[in-house]
Structure 1
Amino acid sequence: MTSQDVRKQFLEFFASKGHLIVPSAPIVLKDDPTLMFNNSGMAQFKEYFLGNGTPKSNRIADTQKCLRVSGKHNDLEDVGFDTYHHTMFEMLGNWSFGDYFKKEAINWAWELLTEVYKIPKENLYVSVFEGNPAENVPFDQEAWDIWAALIDEDRIILGNKKDNFWEMGDQGPCGPCSEIHVDIRSAEEKALVSGKSLVNNDHPQVVEIWNNVFMEFNRKADGSLEKLPAKHVDTGMGFERLCMALQGKTSNYDTDVFTPLIEKVEQITGFKYVDNAVTPSAVEEKTNIAIRVVVDHVRAVAFAIADGQLPSNTGAGYVIRRILRRAIRYGFTFLNTKEPFINQLVSVLANQMGEFFPEIKSQQQLVTNVIREEEASFLRTLDQGLQLLDKVIEEEKGTIIAGAKAFELYDTFGFPIDLTALILREKGFELDEAGFNAAMQEQKNRSRAASEVSTEDWSVLIPGNVESFVGYDQSESDVKITRIRKVDSKKDGILYQIVLDNTPFYPEGGGQVGDKGTLVSANETIEIIDTKKENNLILHFAKQLPENVNAGFVAKVNSDLRSLSSRNHSATHLMHQALRSILGTHVEQKGSLVNPNYLRFDFSHFAKMTETELQQVEDFVNARIQQQLPLIERRNIPFAQAVQEGAMALFGEKYGDEVRAIKFGESMELCGGIHVKNTAEIWHFKIVSEGAVAAGIRRIEAITSDAVKAHFASYENTLNEVKLALKNPQDILKAVHSMQEENAKLKKQMEQLLKEKIDGLKNKLLLEFYEINGVNVLDRRVDLSMSATKDLTQALGNAKPNSFVVLASVEDGLPNIHCYIAKELVEKKGLNANKVIKELGQYIDGNGGGQPFFASGKGKNVAGITEALNNVASILIRN
């Protein structure tokens, strides 16, 4: 059974049980601040479990792209070393929202596994929750009884809270679960050791494949549990592990989910992967681990990029970069890959999974380009890191390298610590691992302290209210507060999140910042400093609560700020249309930021835009502003119909069955943001910058409206100042050209004078050399710039045989020193200009470096030049 068949049969089975089959949500989450990535099948349905939304069906099934590399669920360091953990994996799942419960979920799971997939019953074990008296949660007798009617009781295992009680997070819906484990060992192994004893003990062939979670409780902030108003079912089955069991393999990597990728790696690198059916040697196992890391990680990185998350130095982007760099490092160390190669796997991945996940096919070129550029960049980092590590080793007095220095390589330059340790061992050095771990822990503690958040339970004032957003039609509304909670964070201090029965405040989303404004009652005014959306709730952030939270309020949006944001937002739509018209239809939006001050727009394009193209984009947008195009807004239209009519849908965005379409002339996009009623409100559009974000991704920053007026006013002020400085010439451009010509003549004269000064000084200094142990020595302070001092040092050294020259000077109040040592002295006496500069640098509170025959250094202490030069002779005498 192929992996495609496995996926297809799962979905067909649950469709036959009345489930609505929905597509996978993007792997990157946009409106859940508690998660960076979709890390489980249920993440996209959290709002339904929390009671903040109504699902399209009470029964849903899908296969969800998941990523577990950060936070509570972090499998990254296990990947490669075992055969069943992954960064990205597919989670096959079926859900019931207040519909069926344990009986149906368990029976259907058993039916699918044993009758459809035909897994032998004697290969399966199940577990049920043993209970937890401390939390007043009883043994799950109901689940036990259902299983006992299907399977021998000696195959039912009692599980503790860690294994058999699932929680969404520190707070929120939770409940007991029932896992299904498969034993795929050989008959001989089963005869020797019972599979029951290996369940949940990290045996690679006795693994959990399915977890049925029965959500019955809500975990409160104080840790207590309360019953949910409705019971839900949340199940998740590991697609890759299921394929392993159904294809008769003993490793996920031996299934057709991974073998095409592995074969491509073998073809590129020349290294062979040893099937798990054969016991690999120690050397072969290192190769296996490296190949597993590469083929696993390329899936995670490729799908994240396809869903809109580019590698970067912060947040989710940093996690993606870290995954990719781990794969590059393993290839570099164990597969001898010194050139980018992982990007070549994207085409294999697209052919494998493109039918079911079309985004990887449509974004194939972009994904390939981004990965290639990231590979090239990190390989340069590795090369730089090797040089830096050599310097660390050279400077070390003993054989133990300080952990703090290794951490600096890791933290500042991204050089992997395991590679540092490996190289040190090869060179006969040892890493102070305890020191490195201490530095790492200190950084983690700082990061954790900075991001520490304490969230109280919701205080519900009006139960059962379904909040409505009225901000498209009005900026003020009569409201009541329905729930509040307090959030205390190290970053923002104490804030209050307020939910209203209806709201005109637009919550941050689609690149547009959240509205600010006020809540006004008869007695007080509360400032709303931000608005965000979380699990389908619109949260209004305030630094204080009203004295009377039950009062009636008028919610007032700051209309000035919203108006500026709306102008920038509408301009992004027009600019998107302009880019596709001028550069080509390959252009797709890859990210945006819209606030009152400016707009930022990331898009796919593979070359720097020319000045002509940028001007064409400006002219295109401004022409549509001048046409005074009215907003044509269509709400609640079917997604398929909107796309069929030409609306642009963005990859990586999650759309419902019904969407909102925004149209200005021929520009039509799916969008939930706030827009102008007529393009004339934008007034004018001006691009202020264009540059690269990543391979194949460009970024434009632009301004509209009041910001353009301020921009032009600033230019006018600057022009007036230039005119004043030039004594108000009639023709400014002619005056500037004249000044440039005069400056060029003066520069040539200065260069000639400096050359003559250096030549004269050189001739004078050639007479001031003195001899120590057969070496011609010169140490002087000169009145020249740093670059001129450097040139003079080299000229004197070349002019005098067997020379040792040290010159110092001061530029912009800072000292600099340069050292030249003749080649014969470097080779015969072992003198080293690099070491000389490091020793002399301490006198001027500085450092430097270079080659054995020439090196330079800069410092802060000008007074130290004299002492530095006085120590030149002693360096020679010691050698």
Structure 2
Amino acid sequence: MKSQDVRSKFLSFFKEKKHSIVPSAPMVLKDDPTLMFVNSGMAPFKEYFLGNGQPKNSRISDSQKCLRVSGKHNDLEEVGYDTYHHTLFEMLGNWSFGDYFKKEAIAWAWELLTEVYGIDKEILYVTVFEGSDDADSLPMDTEAYDFWKQYIAEDRILKGNKKDNFWEMGEQGPCGPCSEIHVDIRSAEEKAKVSGKDLVNQDHPQVVEIWNLVFMQYNRKANGSLENLPDKHIDTGMGFERLCMVLQGVQSNYDTDVFTPLIREIETIAKKKYGEQEEADVAIRVIADHVRAVAFSIADGQLPSNTGAGYVIRRILRRAVRYGFTFLDKKEAFIYRLVDILSKKMGKAFPELKAQKQLIENVIKEEEQSFLRTLDQGLVLLNRIVEETKNDIVSGEKAFELYDTYGFPIDLTALILSEKGLKLDEKGFDDELQKQKNRSRAASEMSTDDWTILFDDKEEEFVGYDTLEAHVKLTRYRKIVSKKEGEMYQLVFNITPFYPEGGGQVGDKGYLEDTHGDVIYILDTKKENNVIIHFTKNLPKHIEETFKAVVDSKQRYRTECNHTATHLLHQALREVLGIHVEQKGSAVHSKYLRFDFSHFSKLTVEELRDVENFVNARIEGKLPLIEKRNIPKEEAIAEGAMSLFGEKYGDTVRAIRFGQSIELCGGTHVKNTADIWHFKIVSEGAVAAGIRRIEAITNDAVKDFYFENNRTYFEMKDLLNNTKEPVKALQNLQEENANLKKQIETLLKDKAKNIKSELKSELQDINGIQFLAKKLDLDAAGIKDVAFELGSQFDNLFLIFGAEQNGKALLSCYISKALVASKELNAGQVVRELGKYIQGGGGGQPFFATAGGKNPAGIDEALVKAKDYLV
């Protein structure tokens, strides 16, 4: 059965069981601070399990893209070495929110597997929760056990411990016992030797879990205790790739048609045959897996970067590049070439791959080329470390610096060192890595109390589109403590005028005032699992009273100007550059806006001017806001509204129109474009391959911009004696300056020639080496000229020159190449060691190197110490 049929049969089956079939949510989560990526099928529905929202249908089914590469669920290091772990995988799932429970979930799972897919009942095992005698004191799940007895022999129903058969969302939140379904695909001979029941949950590659049925019936509180949920839910997840392995009769996920087209393409590119050499096979599996994760992430709007989720994606891609570099001997970019195969294979189920194909290829290619350059630089640095190593063990601290600062993979360092007959101090490296992790963990450490519920209000309402003030009631609150922010409180109200951070727009600030005149300040507003949360430093004194909630109107207004300007800017870019332009991210603050978009070249001065003029024409056109709330998404799209890849939209949406600009947007906007006053681009540049970024300002910030430029202009004119042609006067000054520089360079060269003849007479013969250590009144270029001219006359020269320039210290070392070879002297090593006297450092080639420092007073001592290298 082809993988596409496997997926469609699953969804069709649950559609017949009255489930609503929904598309996969984007993998990158926008309003859940506990997760970086969707790592399980339930993550997009978390708000329903928490009771913060109501789904349109109480029965849902989907195939969800998941990524497990960070946090508790991290499969990265296993990927490629076994047959069934992946970074990106599809999770087939069916969900019940307070509807059916264990009986139906178990019956339908068995029906689908054995009747629809036709899996032999004799190769299946199931597990149930055996109970626990710890603080939770949970009973065995006899209910699930009794249901399973109706379908499968009791000796195939295994009792599992809390680790395997009690599923928890995290340290807090909904949880419950679960039943796993395992399949034994070993040969008959292997089954005769060892029973499958003895291999369940033992990490056997052919006895694997394919489906987990979670029975959500408890809530884990902050103090660790459990309480019953008001409604019971079903949360199931079946590994699509593993299911394909079973149904296609192969022994590895990588042998299914999910991966074989990618593997065949890698074989062709790398000129390697899959299945002949284990190291190459691992590399091919790693690359086939990782390109999927990276491509889907970019399609969902997450580009590789140096922080957060972007860093994780960059790390995955670099792991793939490194395996190709090391084990497939691929020294040029090639992984981007796999995107075409991937989009053809999966583009029907996930159309974002086809729509974003060109962008994905460009981003991956640039990332590959960048990291390959890093590897080249790392090899040079590693060779230098090897040269400086006095014994056969390379310092873990230096290896960590190579890894942390330059991104050079530690396993590649270990491999190269072993080829050179050296060892890596692995413990030293692990210690440095752990120190870094501890620092990172300490910086982000946070504790969260349980919510204190004052009264249950199911419908928290945002009224901030229509008013900046409202009388509100506090429905719940909790305390959070973080290393970064200290002690804070999170407040939730029955209604709120405060806009929560989202869609690139920052959250509102403002204040609460009670009837006694007491005021507390709202420092930020965010949305978490569909709940609007207000951050304060203090808890209100009279928590059960009605409060007057007031949004900072000046900040909101400026932010609205910038948000509306992003819509107009998007329209302008598509008009000026072409309809290939799509928004790839934005940041809307009160002081500025940032807009990322797809485009493959730097904007010309003329294009930037045209974009500015386009936006300002719409501002001058005084276009009114036309807003449609809670309309069907299909209706909004039919009217021309633009939706963004990577955004999660509900069945109903809000459409914002200014003239011909129509977008789906939940943010706040000005009532008329005239309110923006003016739009000014302040910068344009590249973010990644095919992604450009514009930063711009509006309203008061533009007024400040022009005022500052005007002030600078008059100051410049004043310095130029109020000339009527300041530009021409500056050009004259530049020409004059250039001529003077040439004269100075000529004088310095003449000075250097005179100094050279003096220095020759000062050379000392030390053990057959012509040595000189001296402080000179020359710049770096002059010192280098002198050193090389002297070097051309001697083949046994060792020079150390010091100089002071602009309050900084400079050391230069020249060693004849003959001495470098015969005496094992190294100028780079010399200046690095002497650099400590001038509180600096440097490097260079073995025959010439320089060091800079901030302590000119140390030059004399460094020159004295230089002689120690020869005696």
Contact 1:209 1:242 in 2 (8 A): yes
Matched, 1:221 2:215: no
Find the counterpart in structure 2 of residue 20 from structure 1: 20
1:667 and 1:124 map into 2 onto residues whose CA distance is 56
Find the counterpart in structure 1 of residue 495 from structure 2: 502
2:869 and 2:238 map into 1 onto residues whose CA distance is 71
Q: Compared with structure 1, are the counterparts of its residues 405 and 777 closer, same or farther at alpha carbon in structure 2 (3 Å cutoff)?
A: closer
2:68 and 2:820 map into 1 onto residues whose CA distance is 55
Find the counterpart in structure 2 of residue 172 from structure 1: 173
1:35 and 1:319 map into 2 onto residues whose CA distance is 13
Amino acid of the residue matched to residue 339 of structure 1?
A: E
1:346 and 1:863 map into 2 onto residues whose CA distance is 59
Structural mapping, 1:191-590, within 5 Å: 191-274=192-275, 284-523=277-516, 524-590=518-584
Q: Compared with structure 1, are the counterparts of its residues 804 and 136 closer, same or farther at alpha carbon in structure 2 (3 Å cutoff)?
A: closer
Contact 2:508 2:556 in 1 (8 A): yes
2:192 and 2:420 map into 1 onto residues whose CA distance is 48
Secondary structure at the residue paired with 2:856?
A: coil
Find the counterpart in structure 1 of residue 698 from structure 2: 704
Find the counterpart in structure 2 of residue 57 from structure 1: 57
CA apart distance, 1:727: 2.4
- Partner of residue 626 from structure 2, selected from 622, 632, 637: 632
Find the counterpart in structure 2 of residue 144 from structure 1: 145
CA apart distance, 1:791: 1.9
Contact 1:262 1:291 in 2 (8 A): yes
Structural mapping, 1:753-768, within 5 Å: 753-768=747-762
Matched, 1:850 2:844: yes
Q: Compared with structure 1, are the counterparts of its residues 232 and 831 closer, same or farther at alpha carbon in structure 2 (3 Å cutoff)?
A: closer
Amino acid of the residue matched to residue 234 of structure 1?
A: D
CA apart distance, 1:871: 4.7
Q: Compared with structure 1, are the counterparts of its residues 814 and 628 closer, same or farther at alpha carbon in structure 2 (3 Å cutoff)?
A: same
Matched, 1:782 2:790: no
Contact 2:514 2:542 in 1 (8 A): no
Deviation string for 1:845-879 (max 9, x for gaps)? Answer: 44332223322222344344334334555534x4x
1:71 and 1:362 map into 2 onto residues whose CA distance is 31
Structure 1: unaligned runs, 5 residues or longer = 275-279
CA apart distance, 1:795: 2.0
CA apart distance, 1:477: 1.0
Contact 2:795 2:818 in 1 (8 A): no
Find the counterpart in structure 2 of residue 75 from structure 1: 75
Matched, 1:66 2:66: yes
2:137 and 2:771 map into 1 onto residues whose CA distance is 87
CA apart distance, 1:31: 1.1
Find the counterpart in structure 2 of residue 609 from structure 1: 603
Secondary structure at the residue paired with 2:570?
A: helix
Amino acid of the residue matched to residue 564 of structure 1?
A: R
Amino acid of the residue matched to residue 469 of structure 1?
A: F
CA apart distance, 1:419: 1.0
2:195 and 2:828 map into 1 onto residues whose CA distance is 66
1:498 and 1:340 map into 2 onto residues whose CA distance is 50
Deviation string for 1:428-472 (max 9, x for gaps)? Answer: 111111111111111111111111111111111111431011111
1:398 and 1:604 map into 2 onto residues whose CA distance is 52
1:416 and 1:474 map into 2 onto residues whose CA distance is 54
Q: Which moved more, 1:57-66 or 1:761-770?
A: 761-770
CA apart distance, 1:384: 1.1
1:366 and 1:574 map into 2 onto residues whose CA distance is 23
Find the counterpart in structure 2 of residue 98 from structure 1: 98
Contact 1:797 1:805 in 2 (8 A): no
Amino acid of the residue matched to residue 163 of structure 2?
A: K
Contact 1:622 1:685 in 2 (8 A): yes
Find the counterpart in structure 2 of residue 34 from structure 1: 34
Amino acid of the residue matched to residue 42 of structure 2?
A: M
Q: Which moved more, 1:234-243 or 1:423-432?
A: 423-432
Deviation string for 1:688-725 (max 9, x for gaps)? Answer: 11111111111111000000111111111111211222
Q: Which moved more, 1:305-314 or 1:398-407?
A: 398-407
Secondary structure at the residue paired with 1:613?
A: helix
Amino acid of the residue matched to residue 716 of structure 2?
A: V
CA apart distance, 1:330: 0.9
2:143 and 2:795 map into 1 onto residues whose CA distance is 95
Contact 1:786 1:810 in 2 (8 A): no
Amino acid of the residue matched to residue 13 of structure 1?
A: F
Q: Which moved more, 1:333-342 or 1:867-876?
A: 867-876
1:774 and 1:131 map into 2 onto residues whose CA distance is 84
Aligned length: 869
2:761 and 2:795 map into 1 onto residues whose CA distance is 13
Deviation string for 1:750-787 (max 9, x for gaps)? Answer: 22222222222223334444444554444332111122
Q: Compared with structure 1, are the counterparts of its residues 455 and 832 closer, same or farther at alpha carbon in structure 2 (3 Å cutoff)?
A: closer
Q: TM-score, normalised by structure 1?
A: 0.97
CA apart distance, 1:156: 0.2
1:311 and 1:699 map into 2 onto residues whose CA distance is 15
Contact 1:465 1:482 in 2 (8 A): no
Q: TM-score, normalised by structure 2?
A: 0.98
Structure 2: unaligned runs, 5 residues or longer = none
Secondary structure at the residue paired with 1:14?
A: helix
2:108 and 2:143 map into 1 onto residues whose CA distance is 16
Contact 1:400 1:432 in 2 (8 A): yes
CA apart distance, 1:64: 0.1
1:120 and 1:731 map into 2 onto residues whose CA distance is 90
- Partner of residue 732 from structure 1, selected from 726, 733, 751: 726
Secondary structure at the residue paired with 1:64?
A: strand
1:847 and 1:744 map into 2 onto residues whose CA distance is 32
1:310 and 1:415 map into 2 onto residues whose CA distance is 21
Deviation string for 1:39-75 (max 9, x for gaps)? Answer: 1111111111111111010110000000011111111
CA apart distance, 1:827: 4.3
2:748 and 2:232 map into 1 onto residues whose CA distance is 86
2:384 and 2:742 map into 1 onto residues whose CA distance is 41
Deviation string for 1:297-327 (max 9, x for gaps)? Answer: 1111110011000111111111111111111
Find the counterpart in structure 1 of residue 708 from structure 2: 714
CA apart distance, 1:742: 2.3
Q: Compared with structure 1, are the counterparts of its residues 106 and 791 closer, same or farther at alpha carbon in structure 2 (3 Å cutoff)?
A: same
2:427 and 2:815 map into 1 onto residues whose CA distance is 41
Secondary structure at the residue paired with 1:389?
A: helix
2:732 and 2:147 map into 1 onto residues whose CA distance is 94
Find the counterpart in structure 2 of residue 277 from structure 1: none
Report the identity percentage.
Answer: 66
Contact 2:52 2:458 in 1 (8 A): no
2:589 and 2:867 map into 1 onto residues whose CA distance is 64
2:835 and 2:668 map into 1 onto residues whose CA distance is 59
Secondary structure at the residue paired with 1:69?
A: coil
Q: Compared with structure 1, are the counterparts of its residues 831 and 314 closer, same or farther at alpha carbon in structure 2 (3 Å cutoff)?
A: closer
